[in-house]
Each structure stands twice: as structure tokens, then as C-alpha cells.
């Protein structure tokens, strides 16, 4: 599949995997509408404010993106977050609501609003996680949200069967982005510790996998891509170098 001349919508486009994917799509000749709360950091052809937890914001984003692009060939549901690492009996309703509204409701909402505008030969991608495949301690709300995303991608694949629209989930492990900073309330020491003693995957390496999925022949659907650092076998098992 040639990407030049196609259009894409990317959520969570202000940093990390979203920003890297925007860069690589644009380098491949794709016209990109990127959305994020920190819209000033979005380096897309069309940069738009977006809060995926809010219906009005999401609808305004999709309407503006479609008007600017003329239609959608690629949708990358990338916006998401995790908050805290605590046993579930120490969780709070606020944390659970924020994670689920962002990672689950937001994904369903953006997909529902975009789907009528996705053209034949289009591609819908979801940023999942290895947390949506195998649980680990002290991450229950995030793990639940990513299991839900994987389940939704399976269901959408069934609903779109017979139409020339592909569906892919990208399940990543340790990728060094602002993800851990957000999770630990912008505590840099805690965030840095997540990646110490190993070589994490980079956002650009994940974006390269996204573009690989996009450029397969139309009859080839990469249902799932799982990406981990070599030093990581699961969310709970990581081997670190000695200090």
C-alpha cells in the first residue's frame, strides 16, 4: 500500500508514540490531523485541540479534521494514560474514572465519530499494551482498560468483516515516553527508574511498526503487533543490567 496522498487522524499526537507516528506519516506523504489537549505541541498538518473524554470536544475535533482532510484513510487511536502503581485496594474512584474514560470511552467515542468518514481501503489502529494481554501487579485500572481496547478491536474487526477496512492493535511494552511521568504524577525520579538498566523501545521504533502495518497489501490484515524490549518478557518480568 502506498501512503503518499492519504489522510490520517492521530489522537494523543502531542508527544511520544503519537508524535513519532505523525512525523513518520508526514514523511511518507500522508496529510495528518493530530489532536491533543496540548495542541501547541502537535506538529501535524492540521493541529486541533482534543479531549477524548468529552463528547463535544471529540465531535468538534472529528468535524474539523474531516473538513480539513476531506475524509479519513487512517485512524490511529493513540490517546491514553495510566495513573499510579498501587494495589487496587488503594485505588480511588477519580483515578479509575480518568483512566477508563480516557482509554476506553475515548477510544470508542473517536472510533464511532470517525467511522462514517473512513474511506474504503482505510485502516483503523489502536494503541494497546502488553498490559492488555497479561496482568501485572498494581496496575488494575490500566490493565482493565487495555484488555477492553483489545476486546473492542476484535469486535470491530467482526463488524467490519467484508468491508475493505483493516483493523490493527499495537501492543507495546516498555517504551520510553512521558507515559511514566504521567503515571507517577510527573515525578521524574520514579519515571526514570522504570527504564533504568535496560534499553527500552523508542517511540520511533513503535511508529515504524505502525507504518509497516499500514503498508502491507490491502488483503493482508495485521490483527495484532506486540512490541517489547528484549529485556522484557511481560509486564512483570524485566531483566536489568547491574549498576
Residues recognised as catalytic: 142
Distance CA 200, CA 119 (A): 35
C-alpha distances in Å from residue 16, one per residue of 41, 86, 93, 202, 209: 11, 24, 27, 9, 14
Contact 218, 164 (CB under 8 A): yes
Distance CA 18, CA 95 (A): 23
Contact 13, 30 (CB under 8 A): no
Amino acid at each position: 500500500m502506498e501512503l503518499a496522498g492519504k489522510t490520517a487522524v492521530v489522537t494523543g499526537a502531542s508527544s511520544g508514540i503519537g508524535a513519532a507516528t505523525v512525523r513518520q506519516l508526514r514523511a511518507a506523504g500522508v496529510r495528518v490531523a493530530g489532536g491533543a489537549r496540548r495542541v501547541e505541541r502537535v506538529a501535524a498538518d492540521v493541529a486541533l485541540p482534543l479531549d477524548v473524554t468529552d463528547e463535544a470536544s471529540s465531535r468538534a475535533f472529528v468535524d474539523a479534521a474531516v473538513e480539513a482532510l476531506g475524509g479519513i484513510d487512517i485512524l490511529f487511536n493513540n490517546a491514553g494514560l495510566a495513573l499510579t502503581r498501587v494495589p487496587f485496594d488503594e485505588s480511588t474512584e477519580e483515578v479509575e474514572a480518568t483512566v477508563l474514560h480516557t482509554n476506553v470511552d475515548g477510544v470508542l467515542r473517536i472510533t464511532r465519530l470517525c467511522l462514517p468518514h473512513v474511506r474504503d481501503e482505510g485502516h483503523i489502529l489502536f494503541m494497546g499494551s502488553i498490559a492488555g494481554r497479561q496482568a501485572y501487579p498494581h496496575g488494575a485500572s490500566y490493565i482493565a482498560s487495555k484488555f477492553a481496547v483489545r476486546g473492542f478491536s476484535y469486535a470491530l474487526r467482526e463488524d467490519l468483516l467484508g468491508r475493505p477496512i483493516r483493523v490493527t492493535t499495537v501492543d507495546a511494552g516498555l517504551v520510553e515516553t512521558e507515559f511514566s511521568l504521567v503515571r507517577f504524577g510527573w515525578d521524574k525520579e520514579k519515571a526514570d527508574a522504570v527504564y533504568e538498566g535496560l534499553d527500552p523501545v523508542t517511540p520511533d521504533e513503535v511508529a515504524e511498526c505502525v507504518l509497516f502495518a499500514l503498508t502491507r497489501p490491502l488483503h493482508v490484515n495485521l490483527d495484532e503487533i506486540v512490541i517489547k524490549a528484549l529485556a522484557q518478557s511481560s509486564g512483570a518480568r524485566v531483566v536489568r543490567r547491574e549498576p
